[in-house]
Each structure stands twice: as structure tokens, then as C-alpha cells.
Amino acid sequence: MSENFDVVVIGGGPGGYVAAIRCAQLGLNTVCIDKQVNSGGEPSLGGTCLNVGCIPSKALLDSSEQFHRLNNQFAAHGIQVENVSVDIQKMQNRKEGIVKSLTSGIAQLFKANKIQFIHGAAKVVAGHTVTVTNNDGVLTDTLTAQHIILAPGSTPVELKSMPFNYDTVVDSTGALNFDEVPERIGIIGAGVIGLELGSVWNRLGSKVIILEAMDKFLATADQQVSKEAARQFKKQGLDIRLGAMVKSVEEESGKITLTYSKGEKDHQEVVDRVIVAVGRRPATEGLLSPDCGVSTDSRGFIEVDNNCQTSVENIWAVGDAVRGPMLAHKSSEEGVAVAETIAGGHGHIDFNTVPWVIYTSPEIAWVGKTEAELKEEGVEFRSGSFPFAATGRAKAMEEPIGFVKMIADKKTDRILGVHMVGPHVSELIGECVLAMEFRASSEDLARTIHAHPTLSEAVHEAALAVEKRAIHKVN
Ligand code: FAD
Ligand code: NAD
């Protein structure tokens, strides 16, 4: 095919497919090129998020959480269960079914919006031109466009000391696909993936040891939240070792010996599987020919300004491959903003209100600044917090764990950040994002009626606590 489009989108993840749909909604003749295939080798839209990221991990988190509850929490409700077992193959099939229905849903949305889809690997060459090659490296298409949106996403970082063998040493994709519960798992990195996938296999019965290079646990989160989360994870049996640097990995007869240093000493752990979860890097290798003019930084991130404009006019880049957090909703928001800018509107992204959620149990969620960040910036603030243990709903749910903390500007009372650890906080954070988006004060939330009994009452009480007037705790 050789054709001219208004917009060529490279990448069909939450950055690219959302940008393509918004472009089509705005009347632009749009094509999206994506190279992802599913386990059956078929093209599969949705990128990392739908295929091997957000969705399959949440499917397994939910299945394993049900199993954990059955074993550990039902008795408190007076419900006796015996001979509980888990069918891993069925659990994995359920996950695959969810992925398949969502990825094929994107293909249907493309059809409905008259977006052309090309399966293959795209490369940007000079003159706003994009070439596409198939799996055999054969050139299949040459496209030109007024605008190009780059959304190639990211891939897992591989450690030189322990290259993936995709069997016993795996990345997050491998860790989503284990067909049996390993007896002992070593996870390198106590970040988001290490904690979420560590939780899955820990709940299903593996002994999980997480080796984290840094001395601080969840350093970017509110430190009180990190402390409470660490306490809860320890109770669940997750063995998190901070300041641990892996030195060597040796495999013999299916057993892996991890040698790591912690403090002055060397230690060893023997495990059956290793999951490496030490971050992700931009997937920009082979994407840009040197003459296309788009610049990348030393780590391969595509350089963009605040509006996602690259170094070349009318070539834009969004999502994991550009600066900022590697989150699906951040990618999609950038995709929408770029589409609207291209169509002559005004794209808007508020980077101060990007929510973070870690889907462990208890869940962790936050938006805005932490107390530590505000102190460093010299901003004066007040904060108030409220424990879930003092809410009727959390008690009724047998989950009286964690708290909500709200931080507001000392002079203006404008909300600067909200930090939570506890049940379903992934759903509670939305209210706080909206409040910050509307530049609300803590008083605005304190004066908002929250239904009783709900978990959201903890948000209400945290807002009241900023003024030291929470009702259901001593201020
Ligand atoms: P991607 O989703 O990576 O999509 C990029 C697409 O472009 C891919 O399909 C890729 O094959 C394709 N591509 C790349 N180069 C080319 C090329 N040259 N030609 C054609 N196609 C190309 N984020 C959250 O917000 N919430 C979560 O709960 C969450 N959970 C996660 C769990 C795991 C295990 C992982 C790994 C990630 C998770 N993330 C989560 C992160 C989230 O998946 C990413 O932030 C998001 O997918 C980024 O979207 P994107 O569109 O920028 O890139
Ligand atoms: P991460 O950046 O969250 O955590 C990586 C961890 O590995 C860090 O704590 C780091 O200090 C540690 N580390 C780095 N090198 C190490 C080494 N050699 N030895 C021991 N520890 C080492 O990265 P991730 O967990 O791989 O996740 C990648 C990205 O995917 C995240 O940044 C996140 O944006 C995204 N993600 C989001 C969600 C979510 O939103 N719920 C879920 C999964 C992934």
C-alpha cells in the first residue's frame, strides 16, 4: 500500500489507539500501525496494557485475591470452607479470555471509527514518511502523512548479570504466564511490578523473596503509606529485602542460586524462578531512521515539549516512550491532547493530577505532592489523616486497614496531594483527582456530603482532619 493520510499513528497501546480514535472522531483520515501479536501469533491491539500489562495482571490479582480471602478471611465471617484448591490453567484461561475480549474490542472500535489498521513494524524516514515491514522484514507499505504520532511504548529492562531465558529467568510477561505455582520465587526490584506480581504468586502459595537495591521502600510514595504497606506485606509473607544488590546467578538442575550483597555481607537464596522487574525502557530501537530528524535522549526516550511535539514539526510522541510516568492513563491523556491539537483545538494535560495506583492488598493510591516533596520545595502545608479502622464500612468488610492522608496549602487550603493505603483506594482516588482538577480546597471536600456507610467517608474525614475537626477520631 502506498497512501497519504492525515495522521499515521505508530503503536496500538493506550497512547496510540486512543489517539487514533480521537483523531477519527475529529474527522481526520487515520491509520494505526502496530506489531504486537498474542500467544497464538495473531495481531492484537491494545499494546502492553491490554496484552501483557495492566489487564492480565489485574485479572490474576483478582483471582489470587479471591483464593487468599477464601483461605484467610472467610472464617472470620463464620463461613467454613474445606479442601480449597486452585486450577492454575483455568485461572490463566480466564485471564486470556479477558485479554482477548478487550483487544478484539479495540479492533471493532477501529472499524466503527473507520480507522485503518496495519499489522507490522513501522519506521519513520525523512519527509513525514513511514515504512512498514512484516514479520519477515519485507517492506509492505509506504505511507505519507500530514502528522505522525509516535506511541511505541516500552519494554522490560534486562540486567546484564541475569539475561532473560524466558523460562526460569523471566520478565513481567513470563511472570504472568507461569503454568504452575513455583515453590520459591526470587524477584529483583520491589517496584510496582515486583509488588503486584509478587502478591499474585505469594497468595497462590509461592515463597516470594524480593531483592530491592534501594535502602528505602517505595521511595516515591508518601513515607507513612510506604511504612504501613511494608507492614501489611510482611504480615502476608512477602519477604522484602532492601539494600540488596544481586551479584551473580547460577542455575543447576533447575534450581537458581542468587548471590547478593546486603550491607557488608554476601548472602545466597535458592529459588525455582526469577522475575526481573527493575523498570522499563522506551521501545524506540529501529523506530527512527537517522534522517527523520526526531531526537531521542541518551536513554532512548523521544524528546518532546509539554505539548508532546518532537524536534520535527507535526511529528508528535506520547506515552511510555516520552518523559513522565509510565502509566496507561497518562499515555491515553497525551494521545487525546495531541489529537485535539492536530485538529486545531487546544490539547490539555495536567501532569500534577496524574493518579498512581498499586493494586496490591491493601491497595496504594496517590495524587499530587508528598509531604517530603513539599518540604523540599519550601511550601507550607497542613495535613490531616483518617484510619479505615474508624469507618463502619471497612469494619463490615473485615478490612479495617490503612488510612487516607490529605495535604493542603497552609494559606489557601488548596489540596496539594492525597495519599491512601487501604481497601479499594484505587476507586477512592478518583474523587481526589477531580477535586484537585477543580482546584478544590480541603474545606470543599469537608463540606461535601459522603454517603454512609462507605469507604469514601475516610476521604471526607481526612479533609475534616486538615482543620483538626474529624468527627470519628480524636484530633
Ligand atoms: P504500549 O502499551 O507499550 O504500546 C505500544 C505498542 O506499540 C505495542 O503494541 C508495541 O508492540 C507497538 N510498537 C512499538 N514499536 C513499534 C513499531 N516500530 N511499529 C509498530 N508497532 C510498534 N499502567 C497503569 O496505568 N496501570 C496498571 O495497572 C499497569 N499495570 C501494568 C502491569 C504490567 C505487568 C506492566 C508491564 C505494565 C503495566 N502498566 C500499568 C503500564 C502500562 O502498561 C503502560 O504505561 C502503557 O501500556 C503504555 O502505553 P503506550 O501506548 O505508551 O505503550
Ligand atoms: P519500577 O520503577 O516501579 O521499580 C523498579 C524497582 O527495581 C525500583 O524499586 C528499583 O530501585 C529497583 N531496581 C532497579 N535495579 C535494581 C537491581 N539491579 N537490583 C535490585 N533492584 C533494582 O519498575 P517496574 O516495577 O519494573 O515497573 C515498570 C513501570 O511499569 C512502572 O514504572 C510503572 O509505571 C508501570 N507499572 C504500573 C503499574 C500500575 O500502575 N499499577 C503496574 C505495573 C507497572
Summarize pLDDT for 366-399 with one digit per residue, the tens. Answer: 999 999 999 999 999 999 999 999 999 999 999 9
Strands 273-276 and 239-241: unpaired
- The reported pLDDT for the residue numbered 466 is 98
Q: What is the distance in A from the centroid of ligand 1 to the CA of 320?
A: 7
Best mutation site among 18, 42, 49 for ligand 1, i.e. most ligand atoms within 8 A of its Cβ?
A: 49
Contact of 382 with 408, CB cutoff 8 Å:
yes
Across 423-445, average pLDDT: 98
Residue 22 to residues 16, 47, 312, 418: CA-CA distances in angstroms? 10, 17, 22, 30
- The reported pLDDT for the residue numbered 3 is 77
- Tell me the C-alpha distance between 271 and 208, whole Å: 9
Contact of 114 with 24, CB cutoff 8 Å:
yes
Q: Whose CA is nearest to atom 9 of ligand 2?
A: 191
Domains detected in the chain: 2-156+281-349 (3.50.50.60), 169-278 (3.50.50.60), 355-466 (3.30.390.30)
Binned at pLDDT 50, 70 and 90, residue 272 comes out as very high
Binned at pLDDT 50, 70 and 90, residue 296 comes out as very high
CA angle (358, 468, 223) in 5-degree steps: 30
Q: Whose CA is nearest to atom 40 of ligand 2?
A: 357
pLDDT at 71 over 80: yes
Q: Which atom of ligand 2 is nearest to the CA of 326?
A: 34
Decide: pTM greater than 0.95: yes
Instruction: Spell 443-454 as b/e; 16+ CB within 10 A means b.
Output: eebbeeebeeeb
Q: Whose CA is nearest to atom 7 of ligand 1?
A: 11
pLDDT digits (tens, 9 = 90+) for 413-430: 999 999 999 999 999 999
Alpha helix stretches (DSSP H) within 223-263: 223-236
pLDDT digits (tens, 9 = 90+) for 341-364: 999 988 889 999 999 999 999 999
Contact of 27 with 43, CB cutoff 8 Å:
no
Q: Which of 12, 195, 237, 214 is nearest to 116 (CA)?
A: 12
- The reported pLDDT for the residue numbered 352 is 95
The proportion of the chain whose per-residue pLDDT surpasses 70, expressed as a percent, equals: 100
Mean per-residue pLDDT over the chain, rounded: 97
- The reported pLDDT for the residue numbered 345 is 86
pLDDT at 337 over 80: yes
Which residues lie below 8 Å from residue 321, measured CB to CB, with a gap of 6+?
150, 151, 152, 153, 154, 282, 283, 284, 300, 301, 302
- The reported pLDDT for the residue numbered 170 is 98
Q: Whose CA is nearest to atom 15 of ligand 1?
A: 152
Ligand closest to the CA atom of residue 365: 2
| Diameter over CA atoms, the chain | 71
Any residues with Cβ below 6 Å from ligand 2, and which? 159, 188-194, 196, 211-214, 246, 277-280, 325-327, 357-359
Best mutation site among 48, 51, 158, 192 for ligand 2, i.e. most ligand atoms within 8 A of its Cβ?
A: 192
- Tell me the C-alpha distance between 99 and 54, whole Å: 10
Q: Whose CA is nearest to atom 3 of ligand 1?
A: 153
pLDDT at 26 over 90: yes
pLDDT digits (tens, 9 = 90+) for 449-470: 999 999 999 999 999 999 999 9
- The reported pLDDT for the residue numbered 246 is 94
Ligand closest to the CA atom of residue 242: 2
pLDDT digits (tens, 9 = 90+) for 160-203: 999 999 999 999 999 999 999 999 999 999 999 999 999 999 99
- The reported pLDDT for the residue numbered 2 is 54
pLDDT digits (tens, 9 = 90+) for 128-163: 999 999 989 999 999 999 999 999 999 999 999 999
Q: Which residues pair with 296 in a beta bridge?
A: 302
- Tell me the C-alpha distance between 439 and 57, whole Å: 33
Catalytic residue among 119, 452, 460, 472: 452
Is 346 among the catalytic positions?
A: no
Q: Is 397 helix (H, G, I), strand (E, B) or coil?
A: coil
Across 105-119, average pLDDT: 98
Contact of 225 with 420, CB cutoff 8 Å:
yes
Q: Which of 115, 117, 134 is nearest to 33 (CA)?
A: 117
- The reported pLDDT for the residue numbered 307 is 95
Contact of 124 with 113, CB cutoff 8 Å:
no
Q: Which atom of ligand 2 is nearest to the CA of 172?
A: 26
pLDDT at 1 over 80: no
**Cell reading at 356:** 498512581
